[in-house]
Structure 1
Amino acid sequence: MSLLPPPSEKPLNLIAFAFLLIAFLTGIASSFQQPTLSLFLSQEIHASPFMVGLFYSANAIIGILLSQLIAAYSDKQEDRRKVIMICCLLSIIGCVIFAYCRNYWILIILGTTLLGLGSASNPQSFALAREYTESAGKESVMFTTIMRTQISLAWIVGPPLSFAIALNWGFSYMYLVAGAAFLLCALATICLLPKISRNLAKTQQSGEIIEAPRTQRKSTAFLFADCLLCWMCNSMYFINMPLYLIHQLHLPEQLAGILMGTAAGLEIPVMLLAGYLTRFLSKKQLMFTALFCGGLFYIGLSVVQQTWMLIALQGLNAIFIGIIATIGMVYFQDLMPRQMGAATTLFSNTAKSSWIIGGPVAGFIAEFWHYNSVFYVSILILLVAAFCLHKVKSV
């Protein structure tokens, strides 16, 4: 007997709450792991800057390969919820390994594999949400936007709390809290998410190619490159910013968490506004706005050193990341309307792919130059991203 109640027994408000809760919980888990990883590897594992960058790259490669396989598998399954549940359970095991293991090679091979499998729970939940809104006749862009704001809401709380737990009680407690978030996510999936029948969609599209049309594959490739380069800048910022504040500017360690939390808080109104503006502006125009603000953000980081200025700059960072994280995902889904799981995971993998290049580059720059040198490199990268976005079809 299935533990999952039939969709008809679930009120619509409860279903919407479940999707928002799962987005928040996966955001909490990621906001505990990513901001503190470079500090964890540096202080607990005593890894060099280059080995820190290498860890990020290995983590990204494993995550991309596994999540893309899961995406292809999930698009063929009748019930996407089972995939989400399994991913959450694997993430719990990965968090336990990070909590108690201090061997670099075990963490980079086993720990990252489990977390890589588990990380697919986030794009899978967004793919299920898009299928739910379309089957229920709801406005998918705004629902996706509101879901994405829950991740930003989690990043308001997550980074400051993760740094506080890690610095005062230790990294073991921090990773156990992240594991608890995944456990709650699995329970919410079991009890609250609806089963979306995919047979109807398959019947309606019988005889059609479910892949992206050939005329849009080029646009999809350029959009992937654009988002990849944007996330690459953000990845290098994440890796080097905490170390830059501590070792180069000699500012308090807690400031890194405050900056990340501030940006996440400001992202929420940006995302909601961006979702609303899709009624008047194209997604391509909004993405160009994000690139412009991102360029201003990295120019500012390269020259300011005062705490209040660093906090003020997070407004530009919020516009940059808020639009890319929300409109970028919907853009992929619009270009690949018959493959929601693959499209959402492809967007998610642009962020993961960024660590493959950004990790070693950030580590190399820190090893031989200065931590803030990555900001100059990021400005050049965003110029290339603008060229790629120019080649994407407006939908």
Structure 2
Amino acid sequence: MDSLITAAARALAAGDPLDALNRVSLRDDAPALALRGIAMAQLGDLDRARVLVRRAGQAFGPTEAVARARCVLAEAEIALACRDLDWSAAALEQALTVLEAHGDRVNAAHARNLVGRRFLLVGRLDAAERTLAGAGPEPLPPAVTAVRDLVAAGIAMRRLRTQAARAALERAGRSARAAGIASLTAEIDGATASLDAPAARLVTGGEDRPLRLDEVEALLASPALVVDACRHAVRQGETMVPLARRPVLFALARALGEAWPGDAVRDALLRRAFGAREADDSHRARLRVEMGRLRAALRPLAGVQATTRGFTLVPKACHGVAVLARPIEDEHAGVLALLSDGEFWSSSALALALGTSQRTVQRALDALAEDGKVQSYGRGRARRWTTPPLPGFTTTLLLPGPLPAG
């Protein structure tokens, strides 16, 4: 490697992309293209960076497998920063295999972190855990260790293991400070702050108050009957009745939970479940049918009794009833949760992360844009969406991923 390439690489490692560009900006050989791409990424021009890194990967010869794998790794990192979740995970996993086979354990660990972060973004928590578990015991540079612990903390937060998440973030913070990377330290500080921010709302006995993530964990571990409006389920301890695919039943369960220990009046139930402003006999008949279905679904946990005014929830083990609601009630809360990280997302990436169709996401984005809650940049396939971070709450419970069964 010549002296200019070496000097440019050292400048990039020191966080000085302009110095690196001054040394290699006029060169088009493969190492110079790769360094130019990394420099442009550090300067924030991700589209140009991606083109340069891809050209570098194509310029390296077939015998330079490690260099080509490193270019794939750089392109994958840029794609992740762009929230382009459609990039080839198979190509990154192949690059990971090449790097491990040639003993480049640092870049291999970095590739493993990227795979884990992508799995975390799309809600595949088990796959993210398996990816991190595949790392060897060898010591790694602080920057790589910090990212690994940051991913581990994200998994723990999504699984409502707040103590494990806090411990992982403390380790990540120490490693980031040792590495001297300000942006990584800021990301870890933001994740740590989210542990102390409201993650949900508790509605019980006419009271509505915010809950931190550790308080949500404690509530779900308690013997109370919880109507979970974050995951659309009713649960008590290890027993859970999912109602995500039965929205009418869940709407009725939530109305009963909010009214407990009293009863929910029929007119209110009809409005919540069917949107009926003026109830007629057909509405009342349908309500009786749906209440029968809800009674059958909740049989392991509670009964549903008719009263003179409506219906009431009767837990089998009377330890109280609580409704766990989202910190904000918005039709498009899932989209807002993803956009609140301040990054630029494509509609296809949002659809992949939310597990829904791209057209559904586009309709949600159009509605949010009309309300001034999101902004778009670019046109066509290059169009990206973002919004300022929503202040004062964590998005953990708005993102996809199942709650623990016990």
- When normalised by structure 1's length, the TM-score is 0.21
- When normalised by structure 2's length, the TM-score is 0.21
Which structure shows the bigger proportion of residues in strand conformation? 2
Which structure shows the bigger proportion of residues in helix conformation? 1
Which structure's relative contact order is higher, taking Cα pairs within 8 Å and 6+ residues apart? 1
